[in-house]
């Protein structure tokens, strides 16, 4: 049976692609929100709180228990949306596929429903309760309502997060210690299926570092940093054996609301059991269901002073003296050892310019060695774009008073920033220095400047950068880009086509892929000086070395394409020859796999 496993994998891939390509999966977004109002179970004199409950992926399976706990104390508004792990295959609509809702639109509809049901004549205030993915939804709804000028956000006194997925789900390398192999496989295979078939946009949007999650975290921090923001109490209930949410997922909440933040641990409780109040498991006289219910009621209904006394986590330590942050991000085939030279130069220059009480932090973040092979494939790079946004958010949470955020990127580091600026509207950096850029030369810098995501950019173009001229440039012709949808290019060798005001390009400097490292004093001046004149930075030559320019033109046809075809033919030959008669089904499966890779990478 093991010998047939690869064939089964190929067949499964083909089936998934066919489902996606033929439209057998309904990709129509469904952002409808269904409200259910439950009035207080007993007699409450005068007005009472409005408890708003938003479920996660479990579709509110424990809602009867939550309503039973809350209804004697106020009005309970439950908001249901389509979040099943499945969304509409016409012939197989009972199978768990994925919901395709846009979480921001979903949150806007949640905000609208709260606005329709909140009545200040009947309700003393609003308590938001979000479970798992629902925690992201209620946080976004709160920001959306505030942005829209709705009345109800002003009435919010507390937000309770039941195993809140505040950083999104992650199976790359930061998965919680208690995540089982089965859970990991479910997330991995499910996300793979979603990407192949074009479904599952809601759950994919909740991945760590995804645009929705990263933008929400950044907007949340900026909102509560503003002087006009109304403080609210935030309580996170997290099981100590949660297999989806880890302890580190709450840093930005602790940083932005440390005085009004409490973290209650729920012992013996996993992600799916946080609201299971009917669990009959008992240890002596302690029933786990009653224990969880009491923790929940403490978080949702008791005085915050009492909640704080039960808090088990210290406030997140921040450094309010840091006024400047410089991110330094390395590239491929590189571990970023050279970041030490940037740190020394930046700190020395900063001491000359800054006040005695200001600090500069060089955030030399590393993602490990990244070889040329994995770099050429889109999914590998996309993973690190999400990683970068997660690191960016965590750094800003640690230094909430930083007024200036700058960026130095080399090779793949340039791609990480460019892709993040394109996909994450909340990403903002002041000044950007790039070298060995592997970004497409057609990159839309005018749109980035128009959105005020950057203020100035300095790009170094090297005359001898054979790495960029031979490999990323291969994917830049429009027909190859249209075929493979692989968005790397040759800006480190050919420069950028679109250079709006504020963009400076030094074309060309002598040296190879790491030529920018000879310009550290200039880059330091550009990042930290009040009014640097980047146009005065010297260039070494007027054009790239002809041997690389010509080689890059011909290598695509004489070297790279034949090499790729040879690999495909070699593997295909062995797949077919190794198969038993009849061989044509194996050939068809292999060709289908190759086409799948070409269209999905």
For residue 163, being part of any structural domain is answered with yes
* Contact assessment for residue 53 and residue 63, using Cβ atoms and an 8 Å cutoff: yes
For residue 356, being part of any structural domain is answered with yes
Last residue within a domain, chosen from 309, 332, 364: 309
Please tell me the chain's helix, strand, coil percentages from 3-state DSSP, rounded to the nearest 5.
45, 15, 35
Quote the tokens at residue 149.
């000028």
432, 566: one domain: no
Residue 127: pLDDT above 60?
yes
For residue 199, being part of any structural domain is answered with yes
Residue 54: pLDDT above 50?
yes
pLDDT in tens, 219-259: 988 888 887 888 899 999 988 888 888 766 766 665 555 67
Last residue within a domain, chosen from 309, 341, 363: 309
Residue 193: pLDDT above 50?
yes
pLDDT band at 45 (very low <50, low <70, confident <90, very high): low
Q: Which of the two residues, 570 and 506, has the higher pLDDT score?
A: 506
222, 359: one domain: no
Q: Average pLDDT for residues 86-93, to the nearest whole number?
A: 40
Which of 421, 385, 429 minimizes the C-alpha distance to 405?
A: 429
For residue 315, being part of any structural domain is answered with no
Total Cβ atoms within 10 A of residue 177 = 9
297, 330: one domain: no
DSSP string, 54-100: E--TT-STTHHHHHHHHGGGSEEEEEEE--SS----SS-TTS-----
pLDDT band at 518 (very low <50, low <70, confident <90, very high): very high
pLDDT in tens, 380-400: 788 889 889 988 988 898 888
Residue 364: pLDDT above 70?
yes
Q: Average pLDDT for residues 474-499, to the nearest whole number?
A: 79
Q: Which pLDDT score, from 0 to 100, does residue 98 have? A: 55
For residue 584, being part of any structural domain is answered with yes
Residue 293: pLDDT above 80?
yes
* Residues forming beta bridges with residue 52, ordered by sequence position: 77, 128
| CA–CA gap between residue 236 and residue 128 (Å, rounded) | 12
Quote the tokens at residue 455.
């203020």
DSSP string, 305-366: HHHHHT--SPPPP--TTEEEEEEEE--TT---TTHHHHHHHHHHHHHHHS-TT-EEEEEEE-
136, 217: one domain: yes
* Residues forming beta bridges with residue 79, ordered by sequence position: 35, 54
Residue 483: pLDDT above 70?
no
240, 102: one domain: yes
| CA–CA gap between residue 456 and residue 533 (Å, rounded) | 11
Q: Is 160 helix (H, G, I), strand (E, B) or coil?
A: strand
453, 568: one domain: no
286, 154: one domain: yes
CATH number at residue 418: 3.40.50.1820
191, 58: one domain: yes
Q: Which pLDDT score, from 0 to 100, does residue 546 have? A: 46
For residue 304, being part of any structural domain is answered with yes
Write a three-state SS string for 459-515: EEEECCCHHHHHCHHHHCCHHHHHHHCCCECCHHHHCCCCCCCCEEEEEEECCCCCH
69, 140: one domain: yes
Q: What is the count of structural domains for the chain?
A: 3
Residue 77: pLDDT above 90?
yes
pLDDT band at 575 (very low <50, low <70, confident <90, very high): low
Q: Which pLDDT score, from 0 to 100, does residue 471 have? A: 74
Four-CA torsion 325, 326, 332, 338, nearest 10 degrees: -120
Domain limits at 116?
31-309
Q: Is 38 helix (H, G, I), strand (E, B) or coil?
A: strand
For residue 476, being part of any structural domain is answered with yes
50, 188: one domain: yes
294, 337: one domain: no
Window from 169-178, 186-195, 549-558 with minimum mean pLDDT: 549-558
pLDDT band at 94 (very low <50, low <70, confident <90, very high): very low
Q: Which pLDDT score, from 0 to 100, does residue 21 have? A: 55
For residue 4, being part of any structural domain is answered with no
Last residue within a domain, chosen from 309, 333, 364: 309
Which percentage of the chain shows pLDDT scores above 90?
A: 40
Q: Average pLDDT for residues 501-527, to the nearest whole number?
A: 93
73, 129: one domain: yes
For residue 244, the Cα-to-chain-centroid distance in whole angstroms is 16
Task: Round the average pLDDT of the chain to a whole number and report it.
Answer: 81
* Contact assessment for residue 521 and residue 475, using Cβ atoms and an 8 Å cutoff: no
């Amino acid at each position: 049976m093991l010998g047939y496993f690869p064939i089964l994998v190929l067949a499964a891939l083909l089936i998934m692609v066919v489902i996606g390509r033929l439209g057998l999966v309904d990709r129509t977004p469904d952002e409808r929100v269904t409200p259910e109002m439950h009035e207080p179970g007993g007699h409450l004199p005068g007005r009472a709180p409005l408890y708003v409950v938003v479920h996660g992926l479990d579709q509110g399976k424990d809602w009867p228990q939550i309503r039973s706990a809350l209804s004697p104390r106020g009005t309970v508004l439950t908001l249901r949306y389509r979040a099943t792990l499945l969304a509409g295959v016409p012939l197989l609509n009972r199978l768990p596929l994925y919901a395709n809702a846009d979480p921001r639109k979903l949150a806007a509809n949640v905000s609208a429903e709260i606005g329709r049901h909140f009545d200040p004549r009947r309700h003393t205030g609003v308590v938001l309760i979000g479970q798992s993915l629902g925690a992201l939804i209620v946080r976004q709804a709160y920001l959306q309502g505030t942005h829209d000028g709705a009345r109800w956000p002003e009435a919010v006194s507390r937000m309770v997060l039941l195993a809140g997925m505040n950083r999104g789900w992650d199976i790359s390398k930061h998965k919680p210690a208690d995540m089982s192999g089965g859970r990991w496989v479910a997330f991995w295979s499910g996300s793979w299926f979603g990407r192949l078939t074009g479904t599952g946009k809601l759950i994919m949007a909740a991945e760590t570092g995804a645009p929705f999650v990263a933008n929400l975290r950044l907007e949340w921090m900026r909102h509560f940093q503003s002087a006009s923001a109304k403080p609210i109490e935030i309580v996170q209930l997290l099981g100590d054996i949660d297999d989806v949410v880890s302890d580190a997922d709450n840093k930005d909440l602790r940083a932005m609301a440390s005085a009004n933040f409490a973290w209650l641990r729920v012992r013996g409780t996993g992600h799916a059991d946080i609201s299971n109040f009917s669990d009959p498991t008992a240890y002596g006289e302690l029933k786990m269901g009653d224990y969880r219910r009491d923790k929940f009621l403490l978080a949702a209904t008791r005085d915050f002073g009492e909640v704080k006394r039960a808090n088990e986590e210290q406030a997140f330590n921040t450094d309010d003296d840091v006024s400047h942050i410089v991110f330094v991000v390395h590239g491929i085939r590189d571990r970023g050892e050279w970041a030490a030279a940037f740190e020394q130069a930046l700190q020395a220059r900063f001491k000359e310019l800054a006040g005695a009480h200001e600090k500069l932090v060089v955030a030399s973040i590393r993602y490990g060695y990244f070889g040329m092979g994995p770099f050429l494939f889109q999914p590998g790079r996309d993973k690190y774009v999400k990683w970068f946004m997660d690191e960016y958010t965590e750094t800003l949470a640690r230094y909430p008073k930083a007024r200036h955020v700058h960026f130095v990127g080399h090779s793949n580091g340039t791609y990480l920033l460019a892709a993040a600026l394109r996909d994450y509207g909340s990403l903002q950096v002041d000044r950007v220095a790039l070298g060995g850029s592997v970004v497409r030369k057609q990159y839309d810098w005018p749109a980035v400047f128009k959105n005020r995501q950057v203020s100035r950019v300095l790009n170094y173009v090297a005359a001898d950068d054979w790495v960029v001229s031979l490999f990323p440039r291969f994917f830049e012709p429009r027909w190859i880009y249209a075929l493979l949808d692989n968005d790397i290019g040759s800006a480190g060798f050919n420069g950028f086509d679109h250079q709006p005001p504020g963009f400076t390009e030094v074309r060309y400097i002598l040296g190879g892929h790491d030529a920018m490292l000879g310009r550290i004093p200039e880059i330091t001046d550009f990042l930290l000086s009040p009014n640097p004149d980047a146009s005065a930075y010297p260039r070494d030559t007027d054009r790239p070395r002809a041997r690389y320019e010509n080689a890059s033109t011909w290598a695509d046809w004489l070297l790279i394409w034949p090499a790729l075809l040879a690999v495909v033919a070699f593997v295909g030959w062995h797949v077919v020859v190794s198969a038993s008669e009849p061989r044509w089904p194996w050939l068809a499966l292999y060709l289908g796999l190759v086409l799948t890779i070409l269209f999905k990478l």
